[in-house]
């Protein structure tokens, strides 16, 4: 079993995927343990000295000016978690919960939060032994962190709320007991240290970026197969053209397209097209693949950089700096960096879907497909009696249209909370959830294009390229050609799952 060591500084998106999806074991570095213990000692000294510290010796939010007696400080933390466990909606997925817990543990391991080492240990044990708190997906505005989702996580840590263990939804106390994980009693600052931060939105963001990279590579494969099925013109992917407009993503996408169709007998040059009295240029959905998907490639790279910083950040408040001997209040919990990045990713993913659907529409249209049969069904199968790929394109169109609505940015919205004390919020969790939904829709859109392009290539008698040949073989290992009508939803889901699991990405 793969192991992932957290230290608050070096966690990667790949590590997040390994823990979330493949149950990699989580360890805490010795250096991080020492930092956690040192910070806790400093915090306890501050409390003994009678320092006034927001959220430790005071109330929260708009009640931050209310002093709390020393005897009530632990109760303050317990009340915080109970009162903020106010989420609604469907539970987050198992993988999202595991990612959320990992990121929270990694934040604590940075050594600025002031929790006891035993608290961090309980969280990592829950991950390793498969105790997954039930966390509703809605209820966070992403400003003072993901307060509601993280509070639901903490409820399980203290033996309240619900948790999933071995496939059963149990009372959290029972789940923890069965897994032999000790529950915790929240001490000074620990409730605030656990529920104040961006870990829900960032968990979704990390998984979305991981999947978006796979999806982009697959979208380039689908575009290459469509180019071949439509006997497209290769000139548009010439290195000279893209060096003349040297956006890195565009150059890389063009290079990838050239590799995928290398050796293909289906594509031709502009000169060949002119000799055959054909138009020497393709429509934009074929000719501009490097320009469009290249921009998506750069967007994903930008968003990935933001997320990689965030997963290794201290995002609670206040933060304790032992070397400086201070405890400072700030706003690292604010989700705007992730919110804006997820909106940007949502736009890029919507573009992939819009672009892919246009090629599918061309493939099934007998007036535009350059000799392919209408709806990609053989004339021997009696066109009219058989509908072929007709409604697959309708499904792609429906999903592409839905994506356009979902791509409306969440990060530009704000509703003040906490009696106007938290007067500008990020809506980061909404941005992250929308981007995730768009990603799933777009996986299905690209799956439909792959199925249509594979069908189209097989109607041509000539040999496809080296890369597209492998992609075609991959599809046919799981889905047979469409020779007569059948319910296509299984085929679509099979190929979508292959995309999601990286079944095509290595070809690119």
115 Cβ partners below 8 Å, 6+ apart?
Answer: 36, 40, 108, 189, 190, 193, 194
Going by their DSSP bridges, the two strands 3-6 and 88-91 should be labelled as: unpaired
What does the alpha-carbon distance between residue 120 and residue 111 come to, in Å, rounded to a whole number?
A: 11
What does the alpha-carbon distance between residue 404 and residue 357 come to, in Å, rounded to a whole number?
A: 13
- Burial profile 429-460: b = 16 or more Cβ within 10 angstroms, e = fewer: bbbbbbbbbbbebbbbbbbbbbbbbbbbbeeb
Helices and strands (H, E) in the chain, number of each type: 19, 9
Ramachandran angles phi, psi of 89, nearest 5°: 95, -170
Partners of 143 in the beta sheet? 145
Task: Give the Cα-Cα-Cα angle 105, 333, 40 (nearest 5 degrees).
Answer: 50
262 Cβ partners below 8 Å, 6+ apart?
Answer: 465, 466, 467
| CB neighbour class for 277 (10 Å; exposed up to 12, middle 13-18, buried from 19) | exposed
Contact 370, 268 (CB under 8 A): no
Task: Give the Cα-Cα-Cα angle 29, 32, 35 (nearest 5 degrees).
Answer: 155
Catalytic residue at 165?
A: no
Question: Which residue out of 54, 165, 210, 344 is catalytically annotated?
Answer: 54
Partners of 417 in the beta sheet? 422
Q: How far is CA 228 from CA 194, 264, 370, 458, 471, in A?
A: 53, 8, 11, 10, 13
| Helix ranges (DSSP H) in 56-146 | 73-84, 94-109, 117-129
Active site residues: 54
């Amino acid at each position: 079993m793969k192991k992932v060591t957290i230290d608050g500084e070096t966690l990667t998106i790949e590590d997040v995927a390994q823990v979330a999806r493949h149950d990699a074991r989580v360890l805490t570095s010795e250096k991080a343990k020492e930092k956690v213990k040192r910070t806790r000692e400093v915090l306890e000294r501050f409390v003994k000295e009678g320092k006034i510290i927001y959220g430790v010796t005071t109330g929260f939010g708009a009640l931050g000016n209310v002093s709390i007696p020393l005897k009530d400080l632990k109760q303050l933390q317990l009340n915080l978690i109970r009162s903020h466990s106010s989420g609604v909606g469907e539970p987050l997925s198992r993988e999202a919960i595991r990612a959320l817990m990992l990121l929270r543990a990694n934040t604590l391991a940075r050594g600025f939060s002031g929790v006891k080492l035993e608290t961090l240990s309980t969280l990592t044990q829950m991950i390793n032994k498969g105790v997954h708190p039930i966390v509703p997906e809605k209820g966070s505005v992403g400003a003072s962190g993901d307060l509601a989702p993280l509070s639901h996580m903490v409820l399980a840590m203290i033996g309240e709320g619900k948790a999933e263990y071995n496939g059963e939804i149990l009372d959290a106390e029972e789940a923890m007991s069965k897994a032999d994980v000790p529950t915790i009693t929240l001490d000074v600052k620990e409730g605030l240290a656990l529920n104040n931060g961006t870990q829900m939105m960032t968990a979704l963001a990390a998984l979305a970026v991981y999947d978006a990279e796979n999806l982009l590579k697959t979208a380039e494969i689908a575009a290459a197969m469509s180019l071949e099925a439509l006997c497209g013109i290769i000139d548009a992917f010439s290195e000279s053209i893209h060096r003349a407009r040297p956006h890195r993503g565009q150059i890389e996408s063009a290079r990838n397209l050239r590799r995928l169709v290398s050796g293909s007998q289906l594509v031709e040059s502009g000169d060949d097209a002119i000799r055959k009295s054909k138009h020497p240029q393709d429509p934009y959905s074929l000719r501009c693949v490097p320009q469009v998907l290249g921009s998506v490639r750069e967007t994903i790279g930008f968003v990935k950089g933001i997320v990689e910083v965030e997963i290794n950040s201290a995002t609670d408040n206040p933060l304790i700096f032992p070397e400086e001997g201070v405890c400072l209040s700030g706003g690292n919990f604010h989700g705007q960096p992730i919110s804006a990045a997820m909106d940007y990713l949502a736009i890029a993913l919507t573009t992939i879907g819009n672009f892919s659907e246009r090629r599918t529409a061309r493939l099934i249209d007998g007036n535009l497909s350059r000799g392919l049969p209408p709806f990609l069904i053989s004339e021997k199968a009696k066109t009219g009696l058989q509908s072929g790929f007709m409604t697959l394109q309708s499904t792609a169109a429906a999903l592409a249209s839905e994506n356009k609505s979902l791509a409306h940015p969440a990060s530009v919205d704000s509703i003040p909370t906490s009696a106007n004390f938290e007067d500008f919020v990020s809506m980061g969790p909404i941005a992250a959830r929308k981007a995730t939904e768009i990603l799933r829709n777009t996986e299905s859109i690209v799956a439909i294009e792959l199925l249509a392009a594979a069908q189209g290539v097989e109607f041509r008698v000539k040999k496809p390229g080296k890369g597209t040949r492998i992609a075609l073989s991959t599809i046919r290992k799981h889905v047979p050609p469409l020779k007569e009508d059948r319910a296509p939803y299984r085929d679509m889901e099979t190929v979508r799952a292959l995309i999601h699991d990286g079944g095509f990405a290595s070809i690119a």
